[in-house]
Chains A and B, each alone.
Chain A
Amino acid sequence: MSTYEFINETLLIDSLKKRDQAAFSYLYDNYAGALYGVIIKIIGKEEEANDLMQEAFVKIWKNIDSYDETKGRLYTWMLNITRNTAIDLLRSSKFKQSRSTDNLEDNTNHIKGNLGNTIQIDNFGVKKIVDALEEKYQQIIDLSFFKGYTHEEIAKELSIPLGTVKTRSRSALIQLKNIMK
């Protein structure tokens, strides 16, 4: 799935800016799964996931003109757009209302950091990775990346100091990087 590394990303970006359909197709084929996965992880329901995916792609398409590499890598840039779109919905009052009847079980699972639930591809490999990541690190990645919590909110949620949140996030990513190598 990391085939993006094998093509010239500059060429892809230029083609996207030119509204080239082949570029869109390439982008979709290689990244849609990851973006969809992020959306599902954040909001869960499939109906809304489709709409969010569309919204995210439209935003990506619209904003590609203002993208350049000083803004970071293309993939991360897209992930952030997708993630923010989903979290906006997650935090919206409309969505919260529809979620008020959700059972606590879901939430505790998330807080425990059981990130393996929705994985459908290559279960074994991923499960190994997820299990290998310390629970407190799973937790912090989940709260930051998939729930859109700010550092302050995380500090409050986990009853840890703000400074710890920052250093723990760093450690989490370092460990994650090492596991995935």
Chain B
Amino acid sequence: MDIQQYISSGIIEACVLGNASAEDMLELASLAAQYPEIKKEWDECQATIEEFATLHAVPPPAFLKEKIWAAINDEDKSNDIAAPRERESVPFQRENHSKSQRFYKYLVAASILLLAGSVTFNFLLLDKNKENEKKFAALDEAQQKEIALNQEFQSKIESYQKSMELLSKPFVKTVPLAGVGTHTQFNALVIWDTQSKEVYLSLKDLPEPPKGKQYQLWGMVDGKPVDAGVYSIGNKSMQKMKQMDNVSLFAVTLEDEGGVPTPNMDQMYVAGKI
């Protein structure tokens, strides 16, 4: 980088006089940061034009300072582009008013503007709030559905895991229940841990029970049907039933919701011998 060449090209003067492009200005700033000679040259140029401006100073009208300060404050509050305010056609007649009065007027104007703005904003917010409430309600519903689905999946996974566990244990009997009577197309499965006496039922392809009805599992013990529990989970996964011992046969009947003490034999869907 030829510093002398840069300086004598007049680009610094161009920047200071306002003829240069934005790129030139950026380049100058960057070079000045790197090279003290360029910074010095730039400083001197600026000082020259500043001195020149100082010498050409014209005192502005007295009222302008406060007017500008008020405009700046408005600017800070409302972030608007300050448009030129009242056109003062005869500026000097106003000198009779006390300064505080004029300042007060601007304060009041600013407060009214603020208030109007605030009220409008409140109405907008109210509207927005109603909208948001609706959105929240919809989101909430959707979320509930998601949670329910998730729970379904979780229990399915759990039941599969349980099945796997059980099947790998010794003394665990897998009892397929085949369709009976008019229900020959259906199947269910019982897994019976003869050691812990735990019984698990999986309804496999049995149809959804009608409203008010539930499937009930029975275990035949000493020739008598013993209630092994009502199948209550809805998604066909494996459910742990009541503990049973000495069972010779398992059967599933369709009963009233909540189950019954003795099975309705012609409502038997599936059954399987041990």
- Tell me the A residues contacting B by CB distance below 8 Å: 1-2, 19, 21, 24-25, 28, 32-38, 40-41, 46-47, 49-51, 53-55, 57-58, 61-62, 70-73, 75-76, 79-80, 83-84, 115, 118-122, 125-126, 129, 141, 144-145, 148-151, 154, 166-170, 172-173, 176-177, 180
The reply to whether A169 and B13 contact each other, CB–CB distance below 8 Å, is: yes
Q: Which of B11, B56, B65, B89 contacts A28 (CB 8 A)?
A: B65
Q: In the complex, how many angstroms separate the beta carbon of B110 from the nearest chain A beta carbon?
A: 14
**Chain A positions within 8 Å of B71 at CB level:** 54, 57-58
Q: In the complex, how many angstroms separate the beta carbon of A34 from the nearest chain B beta carbon?
A: 4
The reply to whether A145 and B17 contact each other, CB–CB distance below 8 Å, is: yes
Closest chain A residue, CB of each to CB of B50: A75
The distance in angstroms between the C-alpha atoms of A170 and B60, with both chains bound, is: 31
Tell me if B44 is interfacial: C-beta within 8 Å of chain A.
Answer: yes
Question: Interface-forming stretch among B80-88, B111-119, B137-145, B185-193?
Answer: B80-88
Tell me if B109 is interfacial: C-beta within 8 Å of chain A.
Answer: no
- Kindly list the 4 A-B residue pairs having the minimum CB-CB distance in the complex, ordered from nearest: A33-B57, A51-B84, A170-B10, A166-B10
**Chain B positions within 8 Å of A168 at CB level:** 10
The reply to whether B53 and A37 contact each other, CB–CB distance below 8 Å, is: yes
The distance in angstroms between the C-alpha atoms of A148 and B29, with both chains bound, is: 21
Interface size of B in residues (CB-CB distance below 8 Å): 51
The distance in angstroms between the C-alpha atoms of A50 and B88, with both chains bound, is: 9
The reply to whether B64 and A53 contact each other, CB–CB distance below 8 Å, is: yes
The reply to whether A70 and B29 contact each other, CB–CB distance below 8 Å, is: yes
The distance in angstroms between the C-alpha atoms of A140 and B64, with both chains bound, is: 32
**Chain A positions within 8 Å of B88 at CB level:** 47, 50
- Other than the known A144-B14, A145-B18, what 8 A-B pairs have Cβ atoms closer than 8 Å? A34-B50, A36-B60, A49-B60, A54-B64, A55-B84, A75-B53, A121-B55, A180-B48
Q: Scoring B residues 43 to 80 as 1 if CB is less than 8 Å from chain A, else 0, what string do you get?
A: 11111111111111111110011011101100110000
The distance in angstroms between the C-alpha atoms of A62 and B75, with both chains bound, is: 8
The reply to whether A173 and B49 contact each other, CB–CB distance below 8 Å, is: yes
A50-B60, A71-B29, A173-B13 are known contacts. Are A24 and B53 too (CB-CB below 8 A)? no
The distance in angstroms between the C-alpha atoms of A83 and B49, with both chains bound, is: 12
A72-B42, A79-B49 are known contacts. Are A34 and B56 too (CB-CB below 8 A)? yes
The reply to whether B54 and A118 contact each other, CB–CB distance below 8 Å, is: no
The reply to whether B56 and A76 contact each other, CB–CB distance below 8 Å, is: no
Q: In the complex, how many angstroms separate the beta carbon of A170 from the nearest chain B beta carbon?
A: 4
Tell me if B19 is interfacial: C-beta within 8 Å of chain A.
Answer: yes
Tell me if B4 is interfacial: C-beta within 8 Å of chain A.
Answer: no
**Chain A positions within 8 Å of B167 at CB level:** none
Tell me if B9 is interfacial: C-beta within 8 Å of chain A.
Answer: yes
**Chain B positions within 8 Å of A1 at CB level:** 54, 57
What are 15 A-B pairs with beta-carbon distances under 8 A? A2-B51, A24-B69, A24-B72, A41-B56, A51-B84, A53-B68, A58-B68, A61-B72, A72-B29, A73-B43, A79-B49, A121-B57, A126-B55, A144-B14, A166-B11
Q: In the complex, how many angstroms separate the beta carbon of A99 from the nearest chain B beta carbon?
A: 18
**Chain B positions within 8 Å of A141 at CB level:** 17, 52
The reply to whether B56 and A166 contact each other, CB–CB distance below 8 Å, is: no
The distance in angstroms between the C-alpha atoms of A172 and B12, with both chains bound, is: 12
A47-B88, A70-B33 are known contacts. Are A177 and B44 too (CB-CB below 8 A)? yes
The reply to whether B14 and A151 contact each other, CB–CB distance below 8 Å, is: yes
Q: In the complex, how many angstroms separate the beta carbon of B61 from the nearest chain A beta carbon?
A: 7
Residues of B78-125 contacting chain A, CB below 8 A: 81-82, 84-85, 87-89, 91
The distance in angstroms between the C-alpha atoms of A57 and B70, with both chains bound, is: 11
The reply to whether B53 and A79 contact each other, CB–CB distance below 8 Å, is: yes
